[in-house]
Amino acid sequence: MADYVLPLGRLIDSFRKLPGIGSKTATRLAFAVLNLSEEDAANFASAILESKNDIHTCPVCCNLTLEGLCPICADAERDGSMLCVVETPKDVMAFERVREYRGVYHVLGGVLSPMNGITPEMLHIKELLSRLEDDTVKEILIATNPNVEGEATASYLARLLKPFGVKISRLAYGLPVGSDLEYTDEVTLHRAIEGRRPMNG
């Protein structure tokens, strides 16, 4: 970037700091910002600052919130005996979109990953254990992602939670709704056969 348009160079550098954004995409996006309306650009900048400064994690479930308890933890209508353990706040949003689940959540903030140096101490596991002290929680649904690291984290948690005597469950593996058997991978099909359910009364 020529030094006579320094702010644009800084903007390109900022975009490049986001994951999955390379040099070409960063340049394209920075030029696109120049074409935004003044209002949109001002909104963009203030949304960055407010997101970064005003959003905190809920002291109970570690989900994102503006201040104090998150609305889900603060909602007396939610079933506190059912606790769903997820990796990220995005997963909470996915669950909430289903509108079926009425329990509460616990956000781990990631998964165990020795390859990337993510150890149990770096996840919100201590906070999870402290929620089991008062016997409110009866069932823990471990909803980490269905991949190697999510699975390893689920096994680790199941072992860790066993002494507390609560029911521990895991999301079901199987065929995604609307998928096609012909194109289903072997591992998923294997899990679907393993988890088969009786149909006749």
| Interface residues toward a copy of itself, by CB under 8 A | 1-2, 4-8, 10-11, 13-14, 17-21, 25, 27-34, 36, 38, 40-55, 64-66, 70-71, 88-90, 93, 96
| Residue 175: Cβ-neighbour burial (10 angstroms; 0-12, 13-18, 19+) | middle
Cβ closer to a copy of itself: 56 or 162? Answer: 56
In terms of DSSP H, where are the helices of the chain? Answer: 6-16, 23-34, 38-54, 71-74, 89-98, 125-130, 148-161, 186-194
Cβ closer to a copy of itself: 9 or 174? Answer: 9
Q: How far is the CB of 32 from a copy of itself (least distance, A)?
A: 5
Cβ closer to a copy of itself: 64 or 132? Answer: 64
Q: How far is the CB of 57 from a copy of itself (least distance, A)?
A: 10
Report d(CA 6, CA 152) in Å as an integer.
46
Report d(CA 118, CA 187) in Å as an integer.
26
Report d(CA 142, CA 94) in Å as an integer.
15
Q: How far is the CB of 185 from a copy of itself (least distance, A)?
A: 22
Cβ closer to a copy of itself: 3 or 134? Answer: 3
